[in-house]
Amino acid sequence: MINKFTIHLKKTFNYRSILLLRFLKWIIISVFVGACMSVIGFLFHIMLSSVTDFRSNHSFVIYFLPVAGLFIVFCYKALGFYHDKGTNLVLLAVRNNEKMTMKTLLLIFSSTILTHLFGGSAGREGAALQMGGAFGDSLGRVLRLDEKDMRIITMCGMSAGFSSIFGTPVTSAIFSMEVTSVGIMHYSALVPSVLSAVVANSLTSFYGVDSKGFSVSGIPDTDIFNILRVVLLAALCAVIAEVFVITLKAFHHIFQRVAQNKFIRIIIGSAVIIALTLIVGDQTYNGAGMEIIDRTFSEQVGWQVFLLKLLFTAITLGCGFKGGEIVPAFFVGAAFGNMISPVLGLDYSFGASIGLIGVFCGVTNCPLASLLMSVELFGIEGIVLYAIVCAVSYMLSGYRGLYNSQKIVYSKTKTEFIDKKINE
């Protein structure tokens, strides 16, 4: 009896010792990744703000967009990125251990800055995911982590990168675990992802970068009529999410057919963006467009706003410029929600918040991260209604998404294992 107790005690001690060592290992790695990505994220934020201000004050720089495009294509080819997979490579690194390098970080950092400086319509969170994933993957190889730990450190870098740029640490941590294989989450990455995201966000705040948030007015009571209105708006957001994804994919294929040569392709796209900008008469739809997203929470915008942003973004990313799709999805969703909500009897500011979250959920297939984002961006008051939005948008947006490498592991309508690739 004493021997059995001794053996059990020894096994328990050994298990606890191993658990503690692993915990300490990931504490150290997570803090380091979060600290490093906070510096990269801070520099990225400062440079994006600077080039956006410069472009706003010197509108003529848009005429140099073709030159910037040619330089971006040249850099990717010169460094051996003949078939750049973008954010899809990060997802493949998590699921299949595909190799990423620091060259990815340098390329996406510089090319996104150039895209924003000269008037391309793109976001920044996609770039943040790539930078964070590349840093985590590169660090893991330096530390000679095994295959399973490499996946965790890549998610750790993704969390830190997203958090350092957008200032939503909880969303960032969950998003990095949810986006790769929808329907399952690698909880083994929970501690590293949360800690790296919190450290990155805390340090960027310390450097003087404020976390993003929106003041939402007109949040209604949760009576049956308002719930039905929210369900209807969420369903419409799911449709817009599908339209967003289909449009981006369509323009990508159109540019491939028009010109096989990437240099010619990006020149054509640049010329179209310049022409559209001149037709519109200002640069409302160039760059990320965060100022327009802010406006959707304080005043009504026209019906054409979300359509034009979608068009500008599809051309920019389709012809070969770099950045991200998430902020444009925010823009399109917020503008659509703002425009359509009064028709449904809802406040336009609250409608903008529904549109932003609903379209984000639909294009990423990440309902849990979307719900957490609603709390971090809008506060806790409307969480019941935002939960409805995320649930409806996730189910009705179908099996489409921004990232072709993403998988839906379980069906959206049945308790059924499907392991289905997005956009198949």
The reported pLDDT for the residue numbered 106 is: 92
Q: Looking at the structure, give the CATH architecture of the domain made up of residues 10-207.
A: Orthogonal Bundle (1.10)
Helix-then-strand count for the chain, H and E:
16, 3
Residue 83 is given by DSSP the state T
Query: Encoding tokens for residue 82?
Result: 């003949």
Q: How far apart are CA 80 and CA 74, in angstroms?
A: 10
Residue 344 is given by DSSP the state G
Is there a contact between 69 and 320 (Cβ–Cβ < 8 Å)? yes
- Domain span(s) for CATH 1.10.3080.10 in the chain: 10-207, 224-421
Nearest to 365 by CA among 424, 406, 313, 420: 406
Q: Which CATH code is given to the segment(s) 224-421?
A: 1.10.3080.10
The reported pLDDT for the residue numbered 122 is: 92
Q: How far apart are CA 67 and CA 50, in angstroms?
A: 20
Q: What is the pLDDT along the chain (424 residues), one digit of tens a residue?
A: 556 656 666 666 677 788 899 999 999 999 999 999 999 999 999 999 999 999 999 999 999 999 999 999 999 999 888 777 778 888 888 887 788 889 989 999 999 999 999 999 998 888 899 999 999 999 999 999 999 999 999 999 999 999 998 889 999 999 999 998 888 888 899 999 999 999 999 999 999 888 778 999 999 999 999 999 999 999 999 999 999 999 999 999 999 999 889 999 999 999 999 999 999 988 889 988 899 999 999 999 999 999 999 999 999 999 999 988 999 999 999 999 999 999 999 999 999 999 999 999 999 999 999 999 999 999 999 999 999 999 999 999 989 999 988 988 988 988 888 888 887 6
Bridge partners of 407, per DSSP, are 181, 421
